[in-house]
Structure 1
Amino acid sequence: MIDLAIPTLETDRLILRGHREADFESMLAMWQDPVVQRYFHGEPMSREDAWARFLKGFGMWAVRGYGIFAIEEKVSGAYVGMTGAFEVRREMKPRIDDLPEAGWSLAARFHGHGYATEATRAALAWMDRQLGSEVFCIMVPENVPSIRVAEKCGFVRSHETIYKDEATLVMKRPPRGGIVGVPTN
């Protein structure tokens, strides 16, 4: 793979880095796990759709200068999941095309260890330094664990909308320093 200059971040227990092709099978297993998918809009991903999502992650780094980090557990080297920001241009009202969207997903065996909060805080701190932009995230209102992660990371409830025929909570996080504005390159 070519080098996209994706930064590597470290926390006490985790390494956040660019995805590697070797991560794909672990990512696919995560996206096909019904426990992980229960709060997502849609069905567990096919291999084809997961591969497309995997490749889109690299495009986000190349086009926007930010994207999704792979989360690796320091002690074991295991693929934990992913966190970071992306731009989806979702078909929802009101549209939120001008802000990065934060997101996190962890393999089920890593749920409940505080990894999502730890990793997402590190990714957001990096984004604050690079972008200084407001960030939003979405989730179904029943996803209480993810709402708690969002709140611990500084997100506040903004509004509810409908996305893919489901009630969807939109949360926003104000900028925390850095350069005001989002790169447009």
Structure 2
Amino acid sequence: MIETDRLLLRPYVLAECQSYLAMCSDPLVLKFLGGKPFSPEDAWHRILRYTGHWSLLNYGIFAVIERSSGEYIGETGIADFHRGLGDAFDGYGEASWTFASRVHGRGFALEAAEAAHKWYNANLRQNRTVCLIDPDNAASLKMAGRLGYTAFDTRDYKGQSMIVLERTASA
């Protein structure tokens, strides 16, 4: 568990499935995540996948809770998604962040992602992480830059050209 001034980051629990489903059914959130709302089955499978990361790899995606309200507001962390994007991508921790649209623009995503990266670097001592971002997702690209990520290539992922970025632990 990680605490920041405003947030609590911890592995998912099953009780968050409905909140996760609501976030992943919001058109604003889905714009760069495939555009199709998640079904209850999709949300269930994703939470089980995240739980599996923690169980098998001892790292993964954190559920992010706003401390003042106790509400689930999104997720961030570093995982191994086995995307098949080549040696410069696969095998490195992949950063991810998704937040409910009601909290966009309040700095929660950056605060949470910085804390997750700090935890990952301290606990796993990996010196490089990567991420994959839609070239039209200006907000995510801006946040990646603030986290120290720089673009190093583009890759086709599920029929769409994506920007591939990297960051070193010293960033």
TM tier, smaller = over 0.9
From 122, 132, 139, the equivalent of 1:138 is 132
1:63 aligned partner: 56
Gaps of 5+ in 2: none
The percent identity for this pair of structures is 38
Write the distance in 1 (CA, Å) between the matches of 2:60 and 2:86: 23
Confirm or deny: 8 A CA contact 2:94 2:129 kept in the other structure. Answer: yes
1:138, distance to aligned residue in structure 2 (A): 0.6
Greater Cα offset, 149-158 or 87-96: 87-96
Confirm or deny: 8 A CA contact 1:41 1:166 kept in the other structure. Answer: no
Structure 1 residue 20 and structure 2 residue 34: aligned? no
Write the distance in 2 (CA, Å) between the matches of 1:173 and 1:53: 25
Structure 1 counterpart of 2:144, one-letter code: A
1:4 aligned partner: none
- Which portions of structure 1, spanning 4 or more consecutive aligned residues, are displaced by more than 3 angstroms? 91-95
Query: Equivalent residue of 2:106, what SS?
Result: coil
Structure 2 counterpart of 1:140, one-letter code: D
Structure 1 residue 166 and structure 2 residue 170: aligned? no
Structure 1 residue 87 and structure 2 residue 80: aligned? yes
1:42, distance to aligned residue in structure 2 (A): 5.4
Write the distance in 1 (CA, Å) between the matches of 2:156 and 2:62: 28
Cα RMSD, aligned residues only: 1.5
Higher strand share: 2
Q: TM-score, normalised by structure 1?
A: 0.87
2:98 aligned partner: 105
Structure 1 counterpart of 2:147, one-letter code: C
Confirm or deny: 8 A CA contact 1:81 1:105 kept in the other structure. Answer: yes
Gaps of 5+ in 1: 1-7, 178-185
Q: TM-score, normalised by structure 2?
A: 0.94
Write the distance in 2 (CA, Å) between the matches of 1:92 and 1:163: 8
- Tell me the number of residue pairs that the alignment of Structure 1 and Structure 2 aligns: 170
Write the distance in 2 (CA, Å) between the matches of 1:156 and 1:67: 22
1:117, distance to aligned residue in structure 2 (A): 0.4
Write the distance in 2 (CA, Å) between the matches of 1:41 and 1:158: 23
Deviation sequence 1:55-93 (CA, Å, 0-9, x none): 010110111110111101011111011000111111335
Confirm or deny: 8 A CA contact 2:7 2:67 kept in the other structure. Answer: yes
